[in-house]
Structure 1
Amino acid sequence: MTAQKRAQNINDVGIAISAFDAQTIRELGFQQPIDVATQTTNFSVNQLVTSIPNFTIRGVGVNDYAINQATSVGSYVDQVFIASPAMMLFQMFDTERVEVLKGPQGTLYGRNTTGGAVLFISKSPTEEPEASVDLEIGSYGYYMVEGAVSGPLSDTVRGRLAFNTTQSDGYQENIFTGEDHGGYDRVSARAILDWTPSDSVDVRLKVHVGKDNSSLNSFNVPGVGSNDSSSGTIDTIDGVPYRDNDSKGAALTIDWDLGNLVLTSVSSYDQLDRFEYGDTDGLFADGRIDQVLISDIDQFTQELRLASNGDGPVTWVGGLYYSEDEIEDGTIYEVTGAGFPPFVFGVPSSYATLDELGNTFQQKSQSAAIFGQVEWDVADRWHLTAGLRYTQEDKELNNVTTPWRVMPGPGESGPDEVGLLFPPASFDEDFDAVSGKFGADFRLNEDILFYGSISKGFKSGGFQGTLVFSPSNIIPFDEETVLAYEVGSKMTLADGRVQLNSAFFFYDYENLQAQGTIEGGAGGVENLFALQNIGDAEVLGFEIDLTAAPTERLNLALGVGYLDAEIVDPFIAEVQPDGRPAMSPKWNLNGRAQFVVHDAGSHYWFVRGDFNFQDDVFFDIYETPFLLEDSYWLFNAAVGVTSTDGRWRAEMWGRNLGDTDYRIGGFTGGVAGPVQIFGEPRTYGVSFSYLFD
């Protein structure tokens, strides 16, 4: 693992980490970042109403659907921080490793985060020529083709080209139209060139592109539809919600060995053009309530690190970080079905019904930081870690306004009328903070490590990116901080056949940022929803992760997580003292097992199963009864055969074998009324992989 910016054994590091290698990623069917949560303790995902994933680790996360909010859980792809949650819809393919770091991060990584960090590491070019292919075919017209070619291009250059296409018809059937919703249409490609011009310099250039033309699931209204059906549709010819997203980017990484020091530079540029036409009311009727999401996101990052390069008792790393991201967003809400008279919003029209409201803005964020961390083997068994960081972030929210459209309805005639509710407005705020970490590790022997740490995480404040009806509705929110206390252990037992890792933690959470309500924001007709500081919170919990190989044929893994999270000092009336933060289930479990049924020497047959359990959880911070998702279990299984040398593999698999109806998000209080989003139903299929060399 590379969680501390250098290669280390995961069990030698006093940090709570969940890690997945390439084989495990393939076996568990991880295809998008949200899938990682299913096998990670105290890790939850809420998809709210725009299909954008919001990560929460140990009760710390941003429960908001706006795309201009940096996440509390930082996500990194090959050392590059992802600024907007809208950019978290990328396809995982040709992935070497995923690492989930729990707790505040900031003394080593680009952006400071309060909840943790998720690292996605791509496979590297190889010294010898090789190629691989992975195929999957499954229910609902699903198929996936993934391939890679890798090897030397010259004495000093190595390259790797990988691609993935994922397609399906969709598992959600519209009850009224018979159309399929939620089908995949994703294509991604990545090229990596490694150049070693000298023994002391390594250069890596990575370029990636992606296109997502998937259809989207329609929402469900209470009592109608399930995880494989809906009555919702949109105002297009075939009525199927859809996405048209294009992404691209490049990163340049340079490592320069200076003898006792290593200088590293990581430069990156990423862009996302986003268009989504989504169903938001779950209804099939005239005057539907839909939304059109149009965004353009540009991100630039630059990081410089200087680190010690030796085996002495003291190691250190220091760095500078700068990032700049610009988000241009325009959202159109088709609200004919709500029946709002235009005058309610101050719209000067004689027509009977308002048809469209919009939400437009441009946000520019700049983040600069200086950070460092020192590790010291102070004695044979004791290891100390200290880190410090200063962060400065500047945010501008420009040209905020709310466009409207009124069209003639039944019995009316005339041209469409358009306008703005208020002249475009602009705002700016600056934020800065000092954060850090102090930790101590004690090694009882070579197999048992105990550790403790105190760390502080910081996430800057900002501006809401949701619908407003007046500049006065733009209320900047302050930064949030988490002071985290943690003790844990990592134990290798039974001659290496058992690994038992545990962590116990307490978080003092100040100025928690979550989606709150601005009362009477829409001319007294409806409330507005915006990210704001809703209170202080405390989180007490633990997690235990066990892996074991009782016999040569049996491998087991089990994770248990517990959270006692509560808001101790609410700032807004809707949040009750002792209320529970969103996406903070009290208990969560995950596990997997694989058993070799028959070993034929050159190949072996196996059966595999995995599960995850999530306790009752609220999707919002108000503890709204409709947004309480009851506890549920999900079970997956596979049977297959693989070569002993790992060259080829074939299996039959099934996911959500119990065909459990479970929700992954929901919303209430908007003009569409209560709506909800379900996870995937039971699916099944076959897969095959082969490595050529």
Structure 2
Amino acid sequence: MSNKALLGTVSRITLGILAAATATSGACAQSAGTVAPPRPPAQTTAPADDETHDIIVTAQKRSERIRDVGMSIQALSSQSLVDAGVAAPQDLVKVVPGFASNPTPYGANVYTLRGIGYQETTLSAAPTVTVYSDEVPIPFSPETLGTALDLERVEVLKGPQGTLYGQNSTGGLINFIAARPTDRLSAGGQVSYGSFDAVDVEGYLSGPLTDTLKARAAFKVSEGGAWQKSYTTGAKLGERDLLNGRLLIDWNPGSRFHASLNISGWRDHGETPAPQFFGLQVLTPGATALMPPGLVAYPTAPHDNRAADWDQGVDYHRRNSFFFTSLKLGVDITDDVSLTTLTSYQRFKRDQPVEGDGTAFEDYSTIQQGDVKTWYQEARLAGTFGGRGNWMLGGNYEHDTVFDQFRILDKDGSLSHVLLSAAPLVILNLPGNFERTDQTISTGAIFGNVEYPVTSTLKLQGSARYTRTTRDFFGQAFDGVNGNTAFFFTLLQAQLRAAYGVFTPSGQTPGLTDCLSLGAAPTFLMGCRTDRLKEDNVSWRVGLNWKASKDTLLYANVSQGYKAGSFPTIIASTLAEMDPVTQERVTAYEAGVKTSLFDRTFDLTAAAFYYDYKNKQTIGRYADIAFGTLLKLINVPKSRVAGFEVAAAWRPVPGLTISPVISYIDTKVLGSFRNFDYLGQPQDFGGRAFPLVPKVQGSLDAQYRWSIGGDAKAFLGGNLAVQGKTWSGFIPNDNEKVPAYTVLDLRAGVEKDGWRFSVWGRNVTDSWYWTSATRINDALVRQTGMPRTIGATIGFAY
């Protein structure tokens, strides 16, 4: 770390410690990252140690016991997340069966639940697994970085959630629920130091301001941790520089009115990690002689998570930020009917460089800029049928404006060397270009939900939502560099017109900022693309819950959800490459059981499911008229997902909790569906599994806590996570293979009188693994996991 960065780290840590130490009253501590003072856990599988309280969730927008909710939910407390090392949504892969997260070569993470994910990296691409903060949707995955700050719990809902929680969640959703302001003055915090000089400081201050007003402020600072090392120069990359904060204010002026204000935000100036280069596969073999010899003979990375390479002299620090505010108002109109409104404004700004090819040459990298503004409004009425059953009726509206721009840098790649003449030799170099989209998305919906007891043990549940989405699109590809790309497209247009018998000049001479994408034959006129996509749908869910005993619930559901279509931000030499995907549909059948056995020392949840999948949205390929096979959004007409999952918590003796989870997911494309593989060869994807969906996932978390004298306790625990093999493409091949891997985390510590000290290790065996592998331009690259990290944490609560 530089002296300037070190001074900044010290000053932030000092301010954080002083802020967190100003309170004097006792309270439970909160954390989002490494380890914190203990809190009562709230896992779906059961409370830890000797706790036997019922877990209350709000998955159906009302408070109820998790064991009474007839759907697949996993609820994880702040302490459960801390113990497992969950500091961001992607870390949930350690503890949530059926959940997967893979970083893409374009700097984003794709979340998948039960095989339903959207492998698209456009900023405006709505995910199939939506992240929420206190019931408010955060519509785009890059915005979710800071959601794990100072939590009460996380609820993971699986399967289509198109009724109560809106469109696009065909895979499920993750609701991060913030810790609320407390009735008395309290504070807590922690400081962690780990491998690669990584420092984390976080804390909170909470309490009453008046008799009716309470507030809670929380912060987190993450610095250092440059974990990647160049295997050719010894340089380092991957430094963290994250500031995250939240202010919550609760106002309860009377028994019938409640208001909650959430103002939060983060800014990320950390470095974007580089992929790992493992081979060269030239897109245009005839251009190999024109490429830099050093790139053609570039050494592959050693078998080490840390090993990577990147363009030298480039500042890979991000300049990303996110501002989030929401206001929740609740009014009890009568003793039986309540009105709730949610109002939210969000703003995300992105400016980040991304290394794409994992070499010191400029084969492919990008500079990504973006700006997202979101307004969200929801209103709903809820009540009961005279104390029997319940109902809900509401509507919401969301308005998003998204600017997304990629500057593509590929001057050393094979596609950027164009041979114009052999005698005399004339080579035109295309150093890169720009791709830009502007989109406006308006989504309106009305929804309703009814749950009614047919008998004292049997409940019938039904819900439906009508959704209408309009997406206005403007897309352009332009030179923006030195005019070479514009000149090349002028020549290409003339050649294509001549091939179709059109010999008159087009009259187009594009400049640096003019649109270059070619139109349809025979004229091939260059231009921008302006389009509109309007879609509507009806999502629904029907369920039957049977309370076989106080501690056993059997349920069966049929649900249908939709995800709206979208346009890409993509290398588009033709206007056709900007075609949108249309909305996808998932019809899900699920049956499950939730039970507690052996005097509530063994909790078990299990579910089996089958998804009928229509028009799956994914990234495919397109035979470009000039550059070979390029990426393009596609719909897969028919496919299916089948599987099961089991989660348990066993407390055989006081202080010991053993929590295994396992999932099995079988995906398949049905019928015949033809597209191109990563080499550009036409293939039939019929019968193939989805990319990046392992069939088997599992984890085992165990912890033992015991007294060591007086009020002091010691604890020892660990988490073993297993991911089965998969591939980054539909057609299995060695270059896109993601082998099975196992990651072991360990933790140990002591706690007494509000203080907690622990030591921990992540990936303690230093397992070399990767989460995706693909071809980027001429390079074969992997997105590797984190190497072994060890550290210590001290936390307190007053």
Give yes or no for TM over 0.5: yes
**Counterpart in 1 of 2:572?**
468
Separation in 2, partners of 1:510, 1:383: 30
Alignment of 1:119-268 (within 5 A): 119-222=175-278, 223-234=300-311, 236=313, 239-259=314-334, 260-268=336-344
- Contact 1:81/1:111 (<8 A) preserved: no
Report deviation, 1:280. Answer: 0.7
Distance change (3 Å), C-alpha of 1:312 and 1:181: same
- Contact 2:215/2:250 (<8 A) preserved: yes
3-state SS, counterpart of residue 242 of structure 1: coil
Structure 1 residues 450-508: Cα deviation after superposition (integer angstroms, max 9, x where no partner): 10010001111121222211212222221110110001001110111110110001111
Distance change (3 Å), C-alpha of 1:133 and 1:529: same
Separation in 1, partners of 2:643, 2:188: 42
- Contact 2:147/2:176 (<8 A) preserved: no
- Contact 1:660/1:681 (<8 A) preserved: yes
Q: Decide which of 473, 477, 482 is 1:397's aligned counterpart.
A: 473
- Contact 2:363/2:777 (<8 A) preserved: no
Separation in 1, partners of 2:562, 2:514: 40
Does residue 544 (structure 1) correspond to residue 646 (structure 2)? The answer is: yes
Separation in 2, partners of 1:332, 1:344: 24
Does residue 338 (structure 1) correspond to residue 338 (structure 2)? The answer is: no
Please state which structure has a larger fraction of its residues in helix: 2
**Counterpart in 1 of 2:522?**
none
Report deviation, 1:27. Answer: 1.3
**Counterpart in 2 of 1:554?**
656
Separation in 1, partners of 2:340, 2:513: 52
**Counterpart in 2 of 1:364?**
440
Structure 1 residues 130-184: Cα deviation after superposition (integer angstroms, max 9, x where no partner): 0111111101011100011010111111111110001123111112232211111
- What is the one-letter code of the residue matched to 2:745? N
Pair member with larger Rg: 2
Separation in 2, partners of 1:624, 1:242: 34
Alignment of 1:5-154 (within 5 A): 5-90=61-146, 92-154=148-210
Separation in 2, partners of 1:577, 1:173: 41
Separation in 2, partners of 1:662, 1:51: 18
Report deviation, 1:91. Answer: 5.2
Separation in 2, partners of 1:164, 1:288: 37
Report how many aligned residue pairs link the two structures.
Answer: 674
**Counterpart in 2 of 1:629?**
738
Report deviation, 1:12. Answer: 0.9
3-state SS, counterpart of residue 26 of structure 1: helix
Separation in 1, partners of 2:514, 2:59: 51
Separation in 2, partners of 1:591, 1:500: 14
**Counterpart in 2 of 1:323?**
398
3-state SS, counterpart of residue 173 of structure 1: strand
- Contact 2:727/2:772 (<8 A) preserved: no
Report deviation, 1:51. Answer: 2.5
Point out which structure has higher relative CO (alpha carbons under 8 A, 6+ apart): 2
Q: Decide which of 611, 624, 641 is 2:750's aligned counterpart.
A: 641
- What is the one-letter code of the residue matched to 1:27? D
Separation in 1, partners of 2:255, 2:147: 34
- Contact 1:248/1:270 (<8 A) preserved: yes
Separation in 1, partners of 2:516, 2:157: 45
Distance change (3 Å), C-alpha of 1:317 and 1:664: same
- Contact 2:554/2:593 (<8 A) preserved: yes
Report deviation, 1:198. Answer: 2.1
Please state which structure has a larger fraction of its residues in strand: 1
Q: Decide which of 296, 299, 313 is 2:374's aligned counterpart.
A: 299
**Counterpart in 2 of 1:413?**
none
Q: Decide which of 405, 428, 431 is 2:532's aligned counterpart.
A: 428
Q: TM-score, normalised by structure 2?
A: 0.82
Structure 1 residues 208-234: Cα deviation after superposition (integer angstroms, max 9, x where no partner): 121100012111111414554344223
3-state SS, counterpart of residue 142 of structure 2: helix
Q: Decide which of 761, 769, 788 is 1:654's aligned counterpart.
A: 761
Separation in 1, partners of 2:419, 2:566: 29
Report deviation, 1:621. Answer: 3.1
- What is the one-letter code of the residue matched to 1:233? W
**Counterpart in 1 of 2:691?**
582
Please say which of residues 225-234 and 176-185 is displaced more in the overlay: 225-234
Separation in 1, partners of 2:386, 2:190: 40
3-state SS, counterpart of residue 653 of structure 1: strand
Does residue 379 (structure 1) correspond to residue 455 (structure 2)? The answer is: yes
Separation in 2, partners of 1:417, 1:343: 19
Distance change (3 Å), C-alpha of 1:363 and 1:571: farther
3-state SS, counterpart of residue 183 of structure 2: coil
- What is the one-letter code of the residue matched to 1:685? G
- Contact 1:356/1:406 (<8 A) preserved: no
**Counterpart in 2 of 1:412?**
none
- Contact 2:704/2:716 (<8 A) preserved: yes
Report deviation, 1:406. Answer: 3.4
Alignment of 1:446-465 (within 5 A): 446-465=550-569
- Contact 2:99/2:112 (<8 A) preserved: yes
- Contact 2:621/2:675 (<8 A) preserved: no
- What is the one-letter code of the residue matched to 2:657? N
Separation in 2, partners of 1:598, 1:256: 46
Distance change (3 Å), C-alpha of 1:602 and 1:72: same
- What is the one-letter code of the residue matched to 1:579? R
Separation in 1, partners of 2:570, 2:733: 20
Q: Decide which of 649, 652, 665 is 2:772's aligned counterpart.
A: 665
- Contact 1:148/1:163 (<8 A) preserved: yes
- Contact 2:602/2:650 (<8 A) preserved: yes
Report deviation, 1:604. Answer: 0.9
